[in-house]
């Protein structure tokens, strides 16, 4: 099937006849780096924002301007940008990441029309390739504040797209926003996640060795370690009444139930709910775990602990007070809260809170990353909860994403056989590498944060 939102963007999946996907939707060619090659002709019904670059007088002018700005920016960056005419820009040496321009005019037209959205769309379309996509994007992420001259940065709100109204995380929109990502296909996620089906940062043990080279064989153990630390910090044990906001595929609920807890877990993904319930029943914990297809705002009751793993990113900037007020409302006296949250610097958060990005358009509609300062401020102003402890582990997320990326590339044919075309696969790879670049550059972090209601010590 093709998943299309109200803007016409698609998930790029085509359901074929019994026995396999429709003809032409299994990638037939792979690039030198193992990336599926984008087809010469892209289906505009599946990919209306990718099939053709913008055209016309206005697009041409915007493209030429964007091209000049891009060339001026990369001249001083530690990379190499190679053009079809043989020219090379950048200060990088032989080991630097290489961006190979195949269709520079199309690339410039896309970034002129849509800024960084155009950067991702041009990769999806095959306008450029990279020798090491994550390393290349890391260079851009590390220079994000200086790529565009400051006077032009102040004007970006005048010409860059705004968040569509139907993607704001009001209750009537949240289910569709979540569905566009998590309901793509459980089989898709099977192909690059480990046996715990955990889709968040792992916490690797020291015995796994350097994070830059940690092996796949340690990932499942590291995911369990991440979950166990959160459960420990929330005080989850025999008889605990636990609320989990954001079920995933059920691993945290399973581990909490194994400790003797009673778990009420909420999700808005029907695919995740179905598989989580199946796993819970198979483990013999159906009497201890309830997985409800429910918005977190509708939760009732009282709980001794609340745990939420990388769900706040899907809440939306304007709804953070409601998210924490809900937790505050249902938390029993003496209870504890443990959340895992992807965070960004506070200044960048404020500067981008109204931006509409490539990630919003193609991956996580309605999402937005908080800063630690924002979490502390929101809880202080709107709840009785206070941040008591936090631990940053962004380098562990970079390692997790590298393993997912490697696994996803190695399963490209299997993903294609599910009906996900080459453009989708390039999109997903860009997303994984884009995310890894954020953590490797330090632009992003991930925090385990503990909150409770204890009075501050005098």
331-343 and 303-309 beta bridge pairing: parallel
Give the mean model confidence (pLDDT) for residues 250-267: 98
Instruction: Give the pLDDT confidence of 139-152 residue by residue, as tens digits.
Output: 998 887 666 655 45
Residue 18 predicted with pLDDT over 70: no
- Residue 81 in 3-state DSSP? strand
Residue 448 predicted with pLDDT over 50: yes
Determine the length of the chain: 458
Instruction: Give the pLDDT confidence of 362-406 residue by residue, as tens digits.
Output: 998 888 999 999 999 999 999 999 999 999 999 999 999 999 999
- Are 114 and 160 contacting, i.e. CB atoms less than 8 angstroms apart? yes
Give the mean model confidence (pLDDT) for residues 426-439: 96
**Can you give the pLDDT at residue 145?**
64
Please, which pLDDT band fits residue 451 given cuts at 50, 70 and 90?
very high
d(CA 343, CA 446): 6
Q: How far is CA 328 from CA 243, 323, 442, in A?
A: 12, 9, 31
- Residue 287: exposure state from Cβ atoms within 10 A (0-12, 13-18, ≥19): exposed
CA torsion 41-52-8-427 (nearest 10°) is 70
What's the pTM?
A: 0.89
Report the range of poorest mean pLDDT among 162-171, 185-194, 274-283, 351-360.
Answer: 162-171
Give the mean model confidence (pLDDT) for residues 170-190: 69
Residue 173 predicted with pLDDT over 90: no
Encoded tokens for 355: 């931006």
Residue 176 predicted with pLDDT over 50: yes
d(CA 293, CA 286): 16
**Can you give the pLDDT at residue 35?**
75
**Can you give the pLDDT at residue 15?**
41
**Concatenated DSSP letters for 199-246?**
-S-----GGG--GGG--GGGHHHHHHHHHHHHHHHTT--TT-EEEEE-
Instruction: Give residue 349's Cα distance to chain centre.
Output: 16
**Concatenated DSSP letters for 83-96?**
-TTS-EESS--TTS
Mean pLDDT of the chain: 87
Give the mean model confidence (pLDDT) for residues 208-228: 97
Which residues are within 8 A (CB) of 449 and not within 5 positions of it... i.e. 6 or more apart? 338, 339, 340, 341, 372, 375, 387, 389, 390
Report the range of poorest mean pLDDT among 35-39, 90-94, 327-331.
Answer: 35-39
d(CA 63, CA 8): 23
Residue 432 predicted with pLDDT over 70: yes
Query: When comparing pLDDT for 35 and 343, which is higher?
Result: 343
Encoded tokens for 297: 């705002």
Instruction: Give the pLDDT confidence of 24-78 residue by residue, as tens digits.
Output: 343 444 444 567 888 889 999 999 999 999 999 988 999 999 999 999 999 999 9
């Amino acid at each position: 099937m093709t998943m299309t939102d109200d803007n016409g963007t698609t998930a790029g999946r085509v359901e074929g006849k019994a026995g396999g996907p429709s003809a032409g939707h299994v990638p037939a060619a792979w690039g030198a780096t193992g990336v599926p090659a984008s087809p010469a002709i892209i289906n505009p019904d599946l990919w209306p924002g990718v099939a053709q670059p913008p055209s016309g007088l206005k697009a041409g002018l915007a493209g030429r301007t964007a091209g000049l700005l891009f060339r001026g920016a990369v001249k001083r960056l530690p990379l190499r940008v190679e053009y079809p005419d043989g020219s090379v820009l950048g200060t990088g040496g032989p080991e630097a990441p290489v961006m190979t321009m195949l269709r520079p005019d199309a690339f410039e037209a896309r970034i002129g029309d849509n800024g960084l959205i155009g950067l991702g769309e041009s990769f999806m379309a095959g306008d450029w390739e990279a020798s090491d996509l994550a390393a290349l994007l890391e260079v851009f992420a590390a220079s994000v504040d200086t790529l565009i001259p400051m006077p032009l940065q102040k004007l970006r709100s005048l010409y860059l797209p705004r968040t569509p109204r139907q993607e704001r995380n009001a209750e009537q929109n949240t289910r569709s926003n979540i569905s566009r990502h998590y309901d793509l296909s459980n089989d898709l996620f099977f192909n690059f996640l480990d046996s715990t089906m955990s889709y968040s940062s792992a916490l690797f043990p020291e015995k796994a060795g350097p994070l830059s080279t940690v092996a796949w064989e340690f990932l499942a153990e590291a995911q369990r370690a991440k979950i166990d630390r959160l459960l420990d910090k929330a005080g989850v044990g025999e008889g605990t009444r636990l609320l989990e906001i954001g079920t995933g595929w059920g691993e945290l609920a399973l581990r909490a139930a194994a400790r003797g807890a009673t778990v009420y877990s909420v999700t808005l993904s029907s695919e995740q709910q179905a598989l989580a319930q199946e796993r819970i029943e198979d483990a013999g914990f159906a009497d201890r775990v309830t997985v409800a297809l429910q918005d977190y705002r509708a939760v009732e009751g009282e709980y001794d602990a609340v745990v939420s793993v990388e769900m706040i990113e899907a809440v939306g900037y304007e709804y953070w007070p409601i998210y924490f007020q809900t937790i505050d409302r249902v938390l029993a006296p003496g209870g504890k809260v443990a959340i895992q949250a992807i965070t960004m610097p506070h200044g960048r958060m404020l500067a981008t809170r109204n931006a509409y990005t490539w990630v919003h358009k193609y991956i996580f509609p309605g999402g937005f990353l908080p800063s630690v300062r924002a979490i502390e401020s929101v809880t202080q102003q709107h709840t009785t909860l206070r941040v008591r402890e936090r631990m940053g582990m962004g380098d562990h997320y970079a390692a997790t994403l590298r393993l997912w990326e490697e696994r996803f590339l190695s399963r490209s044919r299997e993903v294609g056989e599910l009906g996900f075309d080459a453009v989708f696969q390039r999109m997903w790879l860009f997303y994984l590498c884009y995310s890894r670049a954020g953590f490797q550059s330090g632009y992003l972090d991930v925090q385990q944060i503990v909150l409770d209601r204890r009075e501050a010590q005098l």
